[in-house]
Structure 1
Amino acid sequence: MPRVIKIVKSLTWREYLARFLAEKRLNGCRETTINDYRYYIPRFFEGLTLEDWEGIQKRVNEYFSSDLAPATFNIRRAYLKAFFNYLVQQGAVPQNPITFKKRKTESKMRAVPPEILQKLLRLPDKNTFAGLRNYTLLLLTLDTGIRPKEALSLLPEHFNLEAREVTIPGGIAKTKAPRTLPLSSLTVQWLHRLLSVRHSAWHNAPVFCTWEGKPMQRNSWTKILQDYSKKLGYRITPYDLHHAFALYSLRNGMNVFVLQRILGHTDLTMTKRYLALTQEDLQKEHEKSSPLNVLGAKRIRKIS
């Protein structure tokens, strides 16, 4: 009897990626993370095949040897390492080429000057849908400290404008724990206006969607702020707005435990980083404004 040889068709990296993402969804991975995989992995594999192991190793060296910011380096590393781990499990590649450690990042938290934030709020053209959306999203972020991914996933039913609050469901919250945030009257006013111009067919569209009623990606919001930054002459990222809320809230007297709840931190470790920065600000302000600076060294000797 002739020997039966089973032929297994090898899959392309795109086919493996589709299976990988399907598995991630089954495990509860957020859609925003799925979209990040879709963004980073195809850009790495462009022009490559899984059979070209030498080419893959060369691409890894090129992809991570350029002058990358630590945060960008770490993001690329995280997504590619996870996908290569999957490929190794499937027997598609001999080993994971991402063997290097992530880079140490400095704290991104900084205090954006109030005058810069005021100028930023004047930039969106509120007579257009995109400008109205951008302005309202700026207000919401500065009013609540909501994270970019969370804000871009919000649906109309997550807002209770009569009660002046927004609920972030556990499914889109970074910590997977739901939380309800208070809203200022100004933010509520502009949310009313934004929701009033939604197309009647945008039933399942997020509040901060594109002009076509499609979900807006985090990268798109980053690009919008990059364009605004050029006009300001001051670089602002989505997370700068998140940090600005925390820093100015503490400066204005918010209790650190209240801030912890609003930001959704599971413990005070992260919140204390904001507190430490405001204390540094206090020290700098004290050095500049101490009465001793006015009295001068000679006057101090007379007093003593």
Structure 2
Amino acid sequence: MARLRSIKLAAGNRTNWRQLLTEFLAYKKLEDGVDQYTLNDYDRTVNLLFKRFPKAWESEQALRDAVMEHLAQDIAPPTFNNRLVYLRTFFKYCISEGELSTNPLATMKKRRTEECAVSIEVDVLNALLAAPNQNTFVGLRDYTLILLTLDTGIRPSEGTKLIPQDFNASLREIYVPAKVAKGRVARTLPMSEVTRKALRKLISVHAPEWGDNVPIFCSYEGRELNRHTWGDWIEIYCKKMRTRIRPYDLRHVFALEFLRNGANAFAAQRALGHSTMEMTRRYVALVNDDLKTEHAKASPVDRLIKSTKAKSNTKI
């Protein structure tokens, strides 16, 4: 097999990358259960590479050169990391199909992203909650999804896929199924009474003909709300408030406040759906940095020493 593969590659008799991408997307959907939004991201990322470098597929050296130049662009670390992961996964599939002998991104590491606490004042959050018109379906939907994110830390891509059966009003819980969860591991999230009431009200105004499989957070026509559209709605509210908040920022607010208010790191990990403690530790570190800052402002010892020095100077 290896001999046949090397002959095929050397001869340049390779399948067109567009056909491979089509097969790859079908494979990810059927075998891995990847959702449509992620499939669109794969499609967009691979197409962008070959749009910039039309001759990249002519040889493996040309592909490697193109990929290196493509990723050398002046782009933000999150953008770089997304391109790296999506392209590397696609190339891995190409190797399994005998279309590549090596993955040009096999050893490349992600860029480190700068961690900063998402600090949103209480009055700003209250203004955001007050922005949607709850007398309309869309306004009630948006108000409830903001509440749910702040209350549970659920990811936007998870929250927009929940259906009424995932909500347990009597236990005040929302169930995130494995097929919806980013890490493909189900989890159950407790919620406050305020959020429970808002969810019950939203589900009660769903049109009867929609059925049980229409998402809780859908359009007024009963169509699925994707995370990009949700981001557009948040942007509309924020422009009126003259501020900028992304849907994911609300998840960060939950994580930091959850820890600041006494939750332990393991509880935060379970709530946030992190597969490892790595990301949770970053939130813990940010909270610890907050504590250091506040300590520097309000240390009782510093106040005592300053007071003692002031009295000594007065006596002199």
- SS class of match (1:180): strand
Q: Which residue of 2 aligns with 1:29?
A: 33
Structure 1 residues 185 and 221, CA, compared in 2 at 3 Å: closer, same or farther?
same
Q: Which residue of 2 aligns with 1:84?
A: 91
Q: Which residue of 1 aligns with 2:46?
A: 41
Q: How far apart, in 1, do the equivalents of 2:217 and 2:210 lie? A: 11
Aligned residues: 296
Q: How far apart, in 2, do the equivalents of 1:10 and 1:257 lie? A: 49
1:135 matches 2:104: no
- Between 284-293 and 154-163, the greater mean CA deviation after superposition: 284-293
Q: Which amino acid aligns with 2:166?
A: H
Q: How far apart, in 2, do the equivalents of 1:62 and 1:215 lie? A: 37
- SS class of match (2:208): coil
- Between 263-272 and 134-143, the greater mean CA deviation after superposition: 263-272
Q: How far apart, in 2, do the equivalents of 1:10 and 1:258 lie? A: 50
Q: Which amino acid aligns with 2:43?
A: R
- SS class of match (2:110): coil
For residues 154-186 of structure 1, what are the alpha-carbon distances to aligned partners after superposition, in whole Å with 9 as ceiling and x for unaligned? 111111112211111122223332221112111
The unaligned stretches of length 5 or more in structure 2 are 1-12
Aligned residue runs from structure 1 range 1-304, under 5 A: 12-31=16-35, 32-46=37-51, 48=54, 60=67, 63-90=70-97, 92=99, 96=103, 98=105, 100-203=108-211, 204-291=213-300, 297=306, 299-300=308-309, 302=311
Structure 1 residues 170 and 133, CA, compared in 2 at 3 Å: closer, same or farther?
same
Q: Which amino acid aligns with 2:26?
A: A
Q: Percent same amino acid at aligned positions?
A: 43
Give the conservation status (yes or no) of the 8 Å contact 1:50–1:93.
Answer: no
Question: 1:38, CA displacement in angstroms?
Answer: 3.5
Structure 1 residues 13 and 219, CA, compared in 2 at 3 Å: closer, same or farther?
farther
Question: 1:95, CA displacement in angstroms?
Answer: 6.1
Q: How far apart, in 1, do the equivalents of 2:42 and 2:281 lie? A: 31
- Between 263-272 and 201-210, the greater mean CA deviation after superposition: 263-272
Q: How far apart, in 2, do the equivalents of 1:165 and 1:122 lie? A: 24
Q: How far apart, in 2, do the equivalents of 1:202 and 1:50 lie? A: 47
CA-atom RMSD in angstroms: 3.3
Question: 1:135, CA displacement in angstroms?
Answer: 1.4
- SS class of match (1:167): strand
- SS class of match (1:153): coil
Q: How far apart, in 2, do the equivalents of 1:175 and 1:51 lie? A: 32
- SS class of match (1:125): coil
- SS class of match (1:110): coil
- Between 46-55 and 199-208, the greater mean CA deviation after superposition: 46-55
Question: 1:79, CA displacement in angstroms?
Answer: 0.9
Q: Which residue of 2 aligns with 1:5?
A: none
The unaligned stretches of length 5 or more in structure 1 are 1-8
Q: TM-score, normalised by structure 2?
A: 0.78
Q: Which amino acid aligns with 1:213?
A: G
Structure 1 residues 290 and 51, CA, compared in 2 at 3 Å: closer, same or farther?
closer
Question: 1:245, CA displacement in angstroms?
Answer: 0.8
Structure 1 residues 202 and 256, CA, compared in 2 at 3 Å: closer, same or farther?
same
Q: How far apart, in 1, do the equivalents of 2:295 and 2:116 lie? A: 24
Question: 1:253, CA displacement in angstroms?
Answer: 2.4
Give the conservation status (yes or no) of the 8 Å contact 2:78–2:113.
Answer: yes
Structure 1 residues 165 and 287, CA, compared in 2 at 3 Å: closer, same or farther?
same
- SS class of match (1:270): helix
Give the conservation status (yes or no) of the 8 Å contact 1:170–1:176.
Answer: yes
Structure 1 residues 140 and 105, CA, compared in 2 at 3 Å: closer, same or farther?
same
Q: Which amino acid aligns with 1:117?
A: L
Q: How far apart, in 1, do the equivalents of 2:42 and 2:154 lie? A: 23
For residues 116-171 of structure 1, what are the alpha-carbon distances to aligned partners after superposition, in whole Å with 9 as ceiling and x for unaligned? 22222122232333322221111001011111222122111111112211111122
Q: Which residue of 2 aligns with 1:3?
A: none
Q: Which amino acid aligns with 2:255?
A: A
